[in-house]
Structure 1
Amino acid sequence: MNFLGPLCLLIIATTLAGHFAHRLGIPAVIGEILVGVLLGPAVFNVIQLNHLVQTFADIGVVVLMFIGGLESNLTLLRKYLRPAIIVAIIGVIFPVVVMGLVSRLFQFSWFEALFIGVIFSATSVSISVEVLKEFKALDTKEGATILGAAVADDIIGVILLSIMISMMGQTSGVSQTNLGLVLLEQVAFFVGVFVVIKWGAPILMRLSDHLLMSASPTIMAIIICLAMAWLANLVGLSGAIGAFFAGVAIAQTDYQTQVDISIEPVGYTMFIPLFFASVGLNMTFKGFWQSFPFIVVMTILGVVTKLVGCGLGARLNGFSGRSNYVVGAGMISRGEMALITAQIGFSAHLLSSDYYSDVILVIILVTMIAPFMLKDAIHRAPKLMVSDKSA
């Protein structure tokens, strides 16, 4: 039971940090991430990111994306599917090319440089979802485009990572012979998503009304969420993607409000704050000064490549200048997706241990900058960030 003390400390600290962040006009997630930085190995080293804390954090991102799906508009997501795909494609090309080439200037091999580009092509929309929720901007054309682009971005990132591991010929990774199978499994997953949204979730939620259990519709919603997150992981996608579509599926039923009211307190009392704190707990300043030029340059490029690339994708689809800024800013965050990609690649020897900590630090710095950028973008476009009633 020794884990109860650290959990209690993290919950107290993230609650206070979120409160004071709101008072200062800063997105609450920044305060929660800073808690992890201060209490973790980077500063005071009071709490380590052990298996238990990581498990709570993993549940947190699943619950957060489930809530994001619950509060999303499926019609709006369909309406902005084309711009979302274009934003995702250009938003992947920019970091792969620019950050890959710049990595060569820091004496990385061509293969390592390309892998660094792939790491920073990933987008973690979970933090952007929290900021969009905070400013009531999920149900807008910009919000729908960001969500759709992040899903497409995730799929492209998995494909690129699979190809790179195949090129390395690592038996622990995805081999050349079963890369096609992985892609087939992912197609099957999205077919399954359609089936769940259209028929599965409505049937299961109606069935839950006949269960002699308190809050049975909420229990059924959690079962659907966890099952879809697990299946997404099984086919090589982020569990957050499965949870998001589970939320979208429940949102198409008559139980949306009931489930949303029940799930939010569960997520925000413990799991979601611990997810944001875990981002900070990953940070360490080991070898910081020796790698300072690399960290600064790559952090700047990590922000600029998504901001410009995804903003350009939005512009090509007729979005206005300020909407471009919102979409670009919403795609900056790397978070758990980039951390997972870096870890998988490191295990497959795509990146040497000498640079692994530096890359992780850049991911976290970019992730911490992202909410500030998105908040600024939303404040600059108040008349644009309104619910799209025409969907």
Structure 2
Amino acid sequence: MEFILYLILILFFTKVAGDLSVRIGQPAVLGKLVVGILLGPAVLGWVEQGSFIDEFSEVGVLLLMFIAGLETDLEQLRKNWKSAFAVAIGGIILPFIGGYSIASAFGLSQTYALFLGVIFCATSVSISVQVLKEMNKLNSREGTTILGAAVIDDVLVVILLAVMMSVIGTGNDISIGMLVGKKLLFFIAIFLAGWYAVPRVMKWLAPLRVTEAVITAALVICFAFAYFAEFLQMAGIIGAFAAGIAISQTNYKHTVEEKIEPIAYSIFVPVFFVSIGLNVSFEGIGDQWGFLTSITIIACLTKLFGGWIGARVSGFNSKSSLVIGAGMVSRGEVALIIAATGLQAGLLLPEYFTSVVIMVIVTTLVTPPLLKIFFRESNP
């Protein structure tokens, strides 16, 4: 019954912390992230990472991105695809150079330096999505550009990681052509399924004489898209986001949107926010404060200005470009997965793993206040 106690602690403290965060002028998600650090091994040790937390948080992030897809203005996303591509490229090149350079400056070998550069390239907009929703900016030009850039970034970073593991990893033989082929297959299949299959599945399942047939059908589609994405070595959140977009084009959009949010935000999404903070541990970093501080600052600045450059090149003004850059700063669960993969493949030294994890958490923590500040300045 230990997981019941964990649920009590997580649900109670995330709501209280979220309210306190709003009262001091910050997005609610910031307080929820801090709760994860306080309840986890870094401070109180009341909640421990485990299979229950992992599985609930996985469902939470999928539902979060599914809701983002439901609320995304597809026409706005189409209009901003060039900007999204430019932001994704800027948000990869500058962070990669920064990560490689700072690792080299601290004496790491070229292999480890290159891999740190790959970690710096990662982007997870699940936190940014929550902040944009709280501010009613998810369908703004900046918001849709951030979402589009994150999808492109995910594809490019996975390919970059595969190249690294194929060329200099230990015991990994990855076909780059096969990997790119899988990405193309994913997008073609998702497009066809979203256009032809999803409306028909919803229309077929919705009339079933059982409770909540519509929302159950939507969840089946969401998880099926996410599973298919993972099967083809894409992030599951991209599949969930695509499923949300597909259902948003049907007559069931508002019904699904109205019913999915209580399910997501009452239990699964809070566990996801807390799970990020649970990764923080201060064990073994006593001799690495200089390294930790340096990589954290460089990680934040290179993503911020990489996104800023990409947005400026594609026609955004300086203030809106800062908003977009801030939305790309969070590395989130994507970077944690890459770091864990690199550790297993011998591309990341074990003694630096904790510092990298803390850097990832800090980039996630600074994203909500940065977004709020820059959005306020761009819309005085």
TM-score w.r.t. length of structure 1: 0.95
Query: What does 1:140-219 align with in structure 2 at a 5 Å threshold?
Result: 140-171=140-171, 173=172, 175-176=173-174, 178-219=175-216
Q: Counterpart of 2:222 in structure 1: which amino acid?
A: C
Q: Is it true that 1:339 corresponds to 2:375 in the alignment?
A: no
Runs of 4+ residues over 4 Å off in structure 1 = none
The 2-side partners of 1:6 and 1:212 are apart by: 36
> Displacement, 1:170?
3.5
> How far off is 1:196 after superposition?
2.1
Partner of 2:39: 39
Q: Look up the match of 1:309.
A: 306
Q: What's the CA shift string for 1:159-211, capped at 9, x where partnerless?
A: 0111111113544x4x24x3321221111110011112211111111112331
Alignment-derived partner of residue 114 in structure 2: 114
- 2:24 aligned residue: 24
Cα distance in structure 2, aligned partners of 1:219 and 1:3: 25
Partner of 1:389: none
Distance in 1 (CA, whole Å) between partners of 2:149 and 2:83 is: 8
Structure 2 alignment gaps of length 5 or more = none
* Residue of structure 2 equivalent to 1:97: 97
Distance of 2:367 and 2:101 partners within structure 1: 23
Partner of 2:51: 51
Structure 1 residues not aligned, in runs of 5+: 384-391
Q: Give the conservation status (yes or no) of the 8 Å contact 1:333–1:367.
A: yes
* Distance apart, 1:233 and its partner CA: 0.8
Rounded Cα–Cα distance in structure 1 between residues aligned with 2:35 and 2:206: 41
Range 236-245 or range 202-211, more displaced: 202-211
1:278 match: secondary structure: helix
Quote the Cα distance in structure 1 between the aligned partners of 2:354 and 2:314.
Answer: 38
Q: For residues 248 and 379 of structure 2, what CA distance do their matches in structure 1 show?
A: 26
Amino acid at match of 2:353: Y
Q: In structure 1, what is the equivalent of residue 289 of structure 2?
A: 292
Equivalent residue for 2:9?
A: 9
SS at match of 1:333: coil
- Structure 1 residue 54: deviation in Å? 1.1
- Check the 8 A contact 1:303/1:370 in 2, yes or no: no
1:283 match: secondary structure: coil
Paired residue secondary structure (2:251): coil
Helix, strand or coil at the partner of 1:153: helix
CA distance in 1: counterparts of 2:179 and 2:232, whole angstroms: 6
Cα distance in 1, alignment partners of residues 196 and 91 from structure 2:
33
Distance in 2 separating the partners of 1:196 and 1:366? 35
How big is each residue's C-alpha offset from its partner over 1:139-167, in whole Å with a ceiling of 9 and x where there is no partner?
Answer: 11101100000000000110011111111
* CA distance, structure 2, for counterparts of residue 220 and residue 209 of structure 1: 7
Note the C-alpha offset of 1:89: 0.9
**Cα distance in 2 for residues equivalent to 1:346 and 1:183:** 24
Distance 1:65 1:116 in 2: 27
The 1:93–1:205 alpha-carbon spacing in structure 2 relative to 1, beyond 3 Å, is same
SS of structure 2 residue aligned to 1:120: helix
Task: Specify which of 265, 268, 281 is matched with residue 262 of structure 2.
Answer: 265
Amino acid at match of 1:319: F
Q: Paired residue for 2:135? A: 135
Partner-residue secondary structure (3-state), 1:123? coil
- Give 1:149's aligned amino acid: A
The separation in 1 between residues aligned to 2:194 and 2:138, in whole angstroms, is 19
Q: How does 1:225-244 map to 2 (within 5 A)?
A: 225-244=222-241
The correspondence for 2:363, drawn from 359, 366, 376, is: 366
Q: Amino acid of the residue matched to residue 114 of structure 1?
A: L
Contact 1:295 1:362 survives alignment (8 Å) = yes
**8 A contact 2:169–2:345 mirrored in 1:** no
Higher mean alpha-carbon deviation, 325-334 vs 198-207, is at: 198-207
Counterpart Cα distance in 2 of 1:266 and 1:109: 47
How far apart, in 1, do the equivalents of 2:378 and 2:71 lie?
21
Instruction: Report the Cα offset of residue 37 of structure 1.
Output: 0.5
Identity %: 42
CA contact (8 A) 2:111 2:168 kept: no
**8 A contact 2:327–2:371 mirrored in 1:** yes
Return the alpha-carbon distance in structure 1 between the equivalents of residues 354 and 285 of structure 2.
Answer: 9
- C-alpha distance in structure 2 between counterparts of 1:373 and 1:363, whole Å: 16
TM-score by length of 2: 0.98
